[in-house]
Structure 1
Amino acid sequence: MKWLSLALALIEPSQAALRFGCSTLSIQRIDPLVEPGNAPSAHVHQIVGGDAFAPSMPTSNVDNSASCTTCVFSEDFSNYWTAVIYFKRRDGKYKRVPIYPNAVLEPGTRGGMTIYYTQESFNSNGRAKITAFKPGFRMTVGNPQTSTREEAVQNSGLRYTCLQTILTRGSETPDFPKAPCPAGIMAIHHFPACWDGKNLDSPDHQSHMYSTTKGGFQPAGPCPSSHPVRVPQLAYETMWNTTEFNDKSMWPTDGSQPFVWSTGEGRGYSTHADYVFGWKGDSLQRAMDSSCMFQACGGPRAPLRTQSSSEMNKCAVKNFVAEETDGWLDELPGIRLG
């Protein structure tokens, strides 16, 4: 039996998964993937990752243009971003909802997001080879134009959790919670994990990918022949600290929920996220080929190098758009609502 156990261990696939925090790099109205060169872009985004982020970014190796990153793995110069959530007060004024970090990650992380690169689930890659993204790769998930619950339900990778505590998980919904959440709202973005193996991007930033994602970190389905290459399952978690807005006297008089994305959409259906790959050299592939899990993937004997939260927090980019995105605003930046 000992020899059988050893033989099975030798043929088992690697079980690597990354989960790590990234501090906020910037909050401003630019989007180099969907609106390259525009400053400002249509709506405000919150961005983490490498300091190559700008209105226009190279389509080649992003890591060659970056000198620092807000992510704990110091070889990750990728950029990750989403829209921003605002609170709409009863009198019609808006205030940006602050972001707070995941409690179980690097202490001292400033806002930002939790980033995941899993394989099939938290414990297995389904015996499939996981191919890391290539230099120049980019993609989006979701659509700021999504306007119906039916459309939102169909994209199982985009969900919200009403946080009872900072550690609450599960109970995901396709729309904003309708009652005050004791510890805030977590927005979740799971990207597709099947690649066509040819195109680093596509005109809509999505067609080169295919989603078999089931959400909730459940094992994804098999990749189709049109998109046969299994890449890491990329996911973001953003913790929006809505607690300062839990006073129902500030909510709409009809009791409806008061949060809106920076797109101006107020039910949660327009949630979306963007990704530009920028890992240094073969660092992401080394991690995916290993058997490390989460924080154990970084360190002297691990496949990746890490940095302290103080080093993460030093990395920043300039503001390319001179406008106020915080405080009580009469209008959302770039958005005029009737």
Structure 2
Amino acid sequence: MARRSQLISGALIAGALLLTSLGVSGVATGAPSAAPVSAASLFEAAHSVHMMATSTTSSPEDPDGDGYIPANPPVTGVTPSTQDPPHRYFHEFQANCAVSHTEPDDPIVYPQQPGKSHDHTFMGNTTTNAFSTTASLDAGTTTCKAPGDKSGYWMPTLFNGDKPVLPIGPQTIYYKAGVTDYTSVRPFPKGLRFVVGDPMQSADEFRHHPGFVEGWECGDSYFNVDFPASCPTRADVQLNIRFQAPSCWDGKYLDTPDHKSHMAYPVVKPGTNDNVCPADHPVALPMIEFKMAFPVNGDLSQVRLASGRGYSFHYDFFNAWDDATLKALVDHCVVGGLQCDARGYDQTHPEAGAALDENYQLP
């Protein structure tokens, strides 16, 4: 514990020195820098401090503040499935959720510490803030089409200059099978949370991240690890990104100190092309894929994320689905090998029906 406290103190001091060197007042005493501080410099400073200061604050779900939140009950006795079911090109459904608010909060990385994070754009649960818990999200409301999805979804806010650029309307959040045996996928446990990607990753690390799909794209420009210099100035062109989350769970923890270790990406089974969960993360869960569209085009030279450059993109997920609703969608669409909308309806297989009614609720 003493060693961890020393590391945290050193990180906080380093962060303060970094901000002081940029002339940011209110961090440390001393004469302010004579040089003007750019908005970009402030973003980079906040970005660095955000990552250097590791939270050990206790919360209602982690009273000892060690970062571990055990699953209750844990999932045991599972081995990664190596079965190869009949091929289905699709095994997915969508959670269509709109932006609700922005806030410099992160209830996963900085629980109980409002204003500690860089700015985030929140979707889904309308109450998500630094004090969010599984219980508070359960009691909240949602911008998702399915009222049963009270999960919190958030990502660093995109800025064009100093102006926030927020996605308009319901965004596409896919729930897919990340493993070859799509019939082995089970719903998320209530309260599971994790961070996807890393705001401190380099451009090369971002490009080779297992969650990388298309990078940043707009118009005919694809696979960019940073924002392209410009996009066609047309009404139908927006800046887009697709990024996938890990989908294999250790069955033990709803969260871990780094907010990642309890999750893993599927691996390729030796001698095959099959994706399977690794032995230490044997539980196959839905693979979330963000497909975000930001209404900005033309000159992108002033576009940046609250966390830094384009390759600092990452996002967070805090599961607060109604258990029965999520299970119905996973069983019908993922396990059933369908390409479903937010109702759990596949237009190419109308005979299969839908998992939810016209109000996106269980029938």
> What range is the shorter-chain TM-score in?
0.5 to 0.7
With over 3 angstroms needed to count, the CA separation of the structure-2 counterparts of 1:56 and 1:74, relative to structure 1, is: same
* AA matched with 1:134: P
What is the distance in 2 between the residues matched to 1:48 and 1:84?
12
1:97 is the counterpart of 2:165: yes
Instruction: Assess if the C-alpha contact under 8 Å between 1:12 and 1:127 holds in 2.
Output: no
Q: Find 1:117's aligned residue among 175, 178, 183.
A: 175
| Equivalence for 1:171 | 222
| Equivalence for 1:65 | 139
Q: Deviations over 1:163-205 (max 9, x none)?
A: 22xxx8x933322223324412112221001111111111111
Instruction: Assess if the C-alpha contact under 8 Å between 1:135 and 1:277 holds in 2.
Output: yes
* AA matched with 1:175: D
Identity %: 25
| Equivalence for 2:149 | 76
Report the CA distance between 1:61 and its aligned residue.
4.8
With over 3 angstroms needed to count, the CA separation of the structure-2 counterparts of 1:306 and 1:76, relative to structure 1, is: farther
With over 3 angstroms needed to count, the CA separation of the structure-2 counterparts of 1:207 and 1:23, relative to structure 1, is: same
For residue 297 of structure 1, give the secondary structure of its aligned residue in structure 2.
Answer: coil
Unaligned runs of 5+ in 1: 1-10, 89-93, 101-109, 252-256, 309-338
| Equivalence for 2:211 | 157
Q: Find 1:258's aligned residue among 302, 326, 329.
A: 302
| Equivalence for 2:62 | none
| Equivalence for 1:294 | 340
Report the CA distance between 1:39 and its aligned residue.
1.9
Q: Deviations over 1:107-151 (max 9, x none)?
A: xxx3x5211101148xxx5354101110111011111222x2222
Instruction: Assess if the C-alpha contact under 8 Å between 1:117 and 1:234 holds in 2.
Output: yes
For residue 289 of structure 1, give the secondary structure of its aligned residue in structure 2.
Answer: helix
What is the distance in 1 between the residues matched to 2:286 and 2:200?
27
For residue 293 of structure 1, give the secondary structure of its aligned residue in structure 2.
Answer: coil
Instruction: Assess if the C-alpha contact under 8 Å between 2:121 and 2:166 holds in 1.
Output: no
Instruction: Assess if the C-alpha contact under 8 Å between 1:196 and 1:229 holds in 2.
Output: yes
| Equivalence for 2:93 | 18
For residue 206 of structure 2, give the secondary structure of its aligned residue in structure 1.
Answer: helix
1:303 is the counterpart of 2:355: yes
Aligned length: 257
* AA matched with 1:96: P
* AA matched with 2:101: S
What is the distance in 2 between the residues matched to 1:178 and 1:213?
35
With over 3 angstroms needed to count, the CA separation of the structure-2 counterparts of 1:185 and 1:135, relative to structure 1, is: same
| Equivalence for 1:56 | 131
1:144 is the counterpart of 2:199: yes
Pick the structure with greater CA Rg.
Answer: 2
What is the distance in 1 between the residues matched to 2:177 and 2:182?
10
What is the distance in 1 between the residues matched to 2:127 and 2:138?
9
* AA matched with 1:151: E
Instruction: Assess if the C-alpha contact under 8 Å between 2:97 and 2:144 holds in 1.
Output: yes
Q: Find 2:319's aligned residue among 271, 274, 277.
A: 277
1:206 is the counterpart of 2:252: no
For residue 200 of structure 1, give the secondary structure of its aligned residue in structure 2.
Answer: strand
- Higher mean alpha-carbon deviation, 77-86 vs 182-191, is at 182-191
Instruction: Assess if the C-alpha contact under 8 Å between 1:31 and 1:55 holds in 2.
Output: yes
Report the CA distance between 1:282 and its aligned residue.
2.3
Report the CA distance between 1:16 and its aligned residue.
4.1
* AA matched with 1:272: H
Q: TM-score, normalised by structure 2?
A: 0.63
* AA matched with 2:109: V
With over 3 angstroms needed to count, the CA separation of the structure-2 counterparts of 1:191 and 1:120, relative to structure 1, is: closer
- Give the structure with the larger helix fraction: 2
With over 3 angstroms needed to count, the CA separation of the structure-2 counterparts of 1:208 and 1:197, relative to structure 1, is: same
Instruction: Assess if the C-alpha contact under 8 Å between 2:250 and 2:280 holds in 1.
Output: yes
What is the distance in 2 between the residues matched to 1:222 and 1:174?
27
For residue 204 of structure 2, give the secondary structure of its aligned residue in structure 1.
Answer: helix
* AA matched with 1:34: V
Unaligned runs of 5+ in 2: 1-84, 347-352
Q: Which has the higher contact order (CA 8 A, sep 6+)?
A: 1
Instruction: Assess if the C-alpha contact under 8 Å between 2:142 and 2:149 holds in 1.
Output: yes
* AA matched with 1:82: M
For residue 283 of structure 1, give the secondary structure of its aligned residue in structure 2.
Answer: helix
| Equivalence for 2:187 | 132
For residue 275 of structure 2, give the secondary structure of its aligned residue in structure 1.
Answer: coil
What is the distance in 1 between the residues matched to 2:96 and 2:103?
20
Q: TM-score, normalised by structure 1?
A: 0.68
